[in-house]
A and B are shown apart, each in its own frame.
Chain A
Amino acid sequence: MVVTIAALVIGGRTVFVATQAAILGIGALGLALVVARVGLISLGHGAFFGIGAYTSALMARDLGTPSVLGLAGGVGAAMAYGAFVGPLALRTRGLAFVMVTLAFGELARVALQQSVGLTGGDTGLSGIPRQPWAEDPRVGLVVTAAVLLATLEGARWLMATTFGRSIDAARQDESKASSLGYPVARWRTILFVISAGVTGLAGALFAHHTSFISPELLSWLTSGELLVMVLVGGALSLAGAVMGAIGLTFAEDLVTSRTDHWELVLGALLMLVVLSGWLRRGRP
């Protein structure tokens, strides 16, 4: 909220960056549902982000679908792919889960890259129309920030339900949770699909925000970026992931406007986060 108001006051480029920060906040929030609550690291969320982006962009550009329907399409497509990947990936744990999600993510990227007729392949997709409410970027920011807050509240509600709390418990002791009567595998799959949908929503918003997207968006680099945001936020907190996304987006903008070495700064920051023991602290 504070960031939004500040950005509105400053105006200009800051509004653009703040909107992007809010969008990535939604994306990181989606990933955090899996990382922080199931306790597994996914490198496939870049694909959900990209699928959401491409679906909404193509629907708007080629079909002229009303924008909200386009967003819904992006969410739906990401969830559909999540429903395909989730049950397979969730059979594994630890490193294997990382590799399976990575593989399915790259699979989606390559498939999209090859469908030149539909997606334009490597050249990417340009001329994606703005959302009608974003004609004035300041209104666009307010709407995006509202979507972020609503998503965060929704995620918090979800994790306070019996469904969410039992998934939390299963992260601590899977066999105990299932011996109490919780269908752990099925519910984790549902959460994974929801997580894919939230990240897909972020992707859909992103496409209209930048007006240009390329298959690179689906790559594991996007997953990695989202993951870093979740980690900086403390790895176990949903609000932390959002904060991490906002902080990193502004930091990146600040650093890249002065030097070319953003990755250097990011690396140092990551090391600080890991070494400071920030990740080891308990659930807030």
Chain B
Amino acid sequence: MIELDGLSKRYAGVDALHDVSLRIPAGERHAIIGPNGAGKSTLLAIVAGSVRPTSGRVRLLGQEVTGWSPDRMARLGVARTAQRSTLFPEETLLDACLLAAAGRSSGARAWQRLDGDARLVAAAQAALESTGLADRAGDRAADLSHGEARQLEIAMALAQRPRVLLADEPLAGLADSERGTIAQLLHDLDRQMTVLLVEHDLAFALGIADMMTVLDLGRVVVSGHPDHVRASDEVQRLYVGQATDGLADRPHDGADSPLALSVEGLSAGYGAARVVHEVSLAVGEGRVLALLGRNGMGKTTLLRAIMGTIEATGGTVRLAGQDLSAASTTERARAGLSLVPQGRGILSGLDVEEQLTVGQGPGDWTLESVYALFPFLRERRRQEATTLSGGEQGMLAIARGLLRNPGVLLMDEPSEGLAPRVLEQLGEVIIDLAERGQTIVLAEQNVGLTLGVADEVVVLEQGRIVHRGSARALRADAALKRQLMGL
């Protein structure tokens, strides 16, 4: 049983949560949905004990737990999967799950060997088994791909054998095939377990939840049975236009514009593992080239090799004719490449404006023009950047990339973790940038967004290009689309 009574939380003058009251009976699966910045993560963090409410009370499993520390909550039987994977990079997957399994009785087990209890080892292995990670039990967490790290996060939560599971966007950043696995996993959870789930994916949330609460701007909009929520006008309003297909059909002029970036035979990887194999691509000035592919297909590695943050093992990178193959990352940045990294790379300790100006370069994009594009950044300019919501941080990262005034802007999965409404805004921003003549290379797995904004599309599979063509052609060919995305 979870009882929230009049919870409010203020950050730097902003109401993240305002007078939220909820009752979740034991064994219920309750989904919290709502757009970015609605206060969903804050709500979950308060229940988990990592954030103290400004006012209001939390009762959980029959105890008054307001202000309890996270470790005490965990020992009571609360497990939490975080939105951004926070794991132990040096530990093996098995050890990470062992640590999770032992945590609940940490006091009694303090002076026993961590791997000394066979039942605990079995529980850890079972958790890895059920998340499909069993064959990687001996690998280090640092070597996992983004999707696998999310799976480990869930494996660790299961290993805790919790009575209450707090899941913060368990599907964020997962490819479609992985989403199926995780969704099934959550669906098959012990019915005794109370689940509080924060999710963007409305279809998934509707399918799994017994009850739902919709938050917007820190307030409860509607709460009730999924059918009731689905039918509610408020929800229709919030989730309007979630199909991002056909955001705009850009005229295909300038297809023969001069080349801004050309890459030939580029190969790269990590250590002995080669992830990208002899990829060649070119993008004309003012064009949007999309690298489409599922997780782990080499999109991030390709962008990193272009940016020079990892060393290419072969091939050339040319920017406006200038050969940058041997150039350092700094030299490439100076020559006009800018990368908006996955996970946004927001620096802690800086406010929004400091964050924006930290790498500012001369050119058309100024603080003023960026503020005009993202008005909320001006309002929040003195707020510490890490207190922005995930979607806002994404926009901030794009704004920061623009202020470097790059010839070519590289974007690595900007859609990750964005609510449909924000996703649509993102699409509009990219189209807006393209219309102003900004050259963009966009790595994405969101097909709808990609086809809505790109001029050309390159599909990556296992680090190789398996298809290239115009976005328009791909948009029209549903069968090819499904086939390319492995559906």
A residues whose Cβ falls under 8 Å from a Cβ of B: 160-163, 165-166, 168-169, 172-173, 175-184, 187, 282-283
Contact = CB atoms under 8 A, between A and B. Distances in A.
B71 A178 contact: yes
24 contacts: A161-B113, A162-B113, A163-B110, A165-B95, A165-B99, A166-B102, A168-B90, A169-B99, A172-B87, A172-B89, A173-B87, A175-B50, A177-B88, A178-B70, A179-B73, A179-B80, A180-B71, A180-B99, A180-B160, A181-B74, A182-B103, A182-B106, A183-B69, A183-B71
B50 A162 contact: no
Interface of B: 48, 50, 69-71, 73-75, 80, 82, 86-91, 95-96, 98-100, 102-107, 109-115, 156, 160
A180 B86 contact: no
A176 B86 contact: yes
A215 to B, nearest CB: 37
- Residue in B73, B104, B114 with the greatest tally of chain A CB atoms within 10 Å: B114
Contact of A179 (B74, B88, B90, B115): B74
Nearest to B77: A181
Nearest to B71: A178
Given A161-B110, A173-B86, A166 B99 contact: yes
Contacts of A184: 71
B140 to A, nearest CB: 9
Contacts of B48: 179
Given A178-B69, A180-B74, A183-B106, A169 B111 contact: no
A180 B69 CA distance: 11
Contact of B86 (A162, A175, A182, A187): A175
B156 A180 contact: yes
Contacts of B112: 161-162
Nearest to A160: B113
Contacts of A179: 48, 50, 70-71, 73-74, 80, 82
Contacts, number: 88
Nearest to A183: B71
Contact of A162 (B71, B96, B106): B106
Nearest to B98: A165
- Residue in A161, A168, A172, A181 with the greatest tally of chain B CB atoms within 10 Å: A181
A283 B90 contact: yes
A116 B370 CA distance: 68
A176 B87 contact: yes
Nearest to B111: A161
Contacts of A182: 71, 103, 106
Contacts of B96: 169
B91 A162 contact: no
B320 to A, nearest CB: 36
Contacts of B109: 162
B254 to A, nearest CB: 47
A180 B91 contact: no
Given A180-B99, A283-B90, 9 more contacts: A162-B114, A165-B95, A166-B114, A175-B70, A176-B87, A178-B71, A179-B71, A181-B104, A181-B106
Nearest to A282: B90
B114 A160 contact: yes
Q: Top 9 A-B pairs ranked by shortest CB distance?
A: A181-B103, A180-B103, A181-B74, A163-B110, A165-B114, A162-B109, A178-B71, A172-B88, A179-B70
A184 B82 CA distance: 18
Given A178-B71, A179-B70, A162 B102 contact: yes
B71 A172 contact: no
A172 B103 CA distance: 16
Nearest to B115: A160
B313 to A, nearest CB: 21
Nearest to A180: B103
A175 B70 CA distance: 8
B41 to A, nearest CB: 14
B14 to A, nearest CB: 22
A189 to B, nearest CB: 13
B88 A173 contact: yes
B219 to A, nearest CB: 27
Nearest to B81: A179
B108 to A, nearest CB: 9
A217 B186 CA distance: 59
Nearest to B99: A169
Contacts of A169: 88, 91, 96, 99
- Residue in B69, B71, B96 with the greatest tally of chain A CB atoms within 10 Å: B71
